[in-house]
Amino acid sequence: MNDKANPPKKSGGERKDRLAEALRANLQKRKAQARSRRAGDPDQRPEGLPSAGKMQIK
């Protein structure tokens, strides 16, 4: 067989570490978005929507 066709795989630990770090970063970003929405502040992304502002009770 050709050994170059199936190179030895790297340890799965490196991949798991990268995926775990990406997951943590994504979770922090989503939590920040949720906090800003609860506070009524506009999203900090340039493509984000403006906040609705304060509700007026009649």
- Amino acid, res. 57: I
- Rounded-to-integer distance, Cα 14 and Cα 7, Å: 17
One pLDDT digit (tens) per residue for the chain, 58 residues: 555 666 666 677 899 999 999 999 999 999 998 888 777 656 566 665 566 666 566 6
Q: Measured between alpha carbons, how far is residue 7 from residues 3, 4, 10, 42 in Å?
A: 7, 6, 9, 49
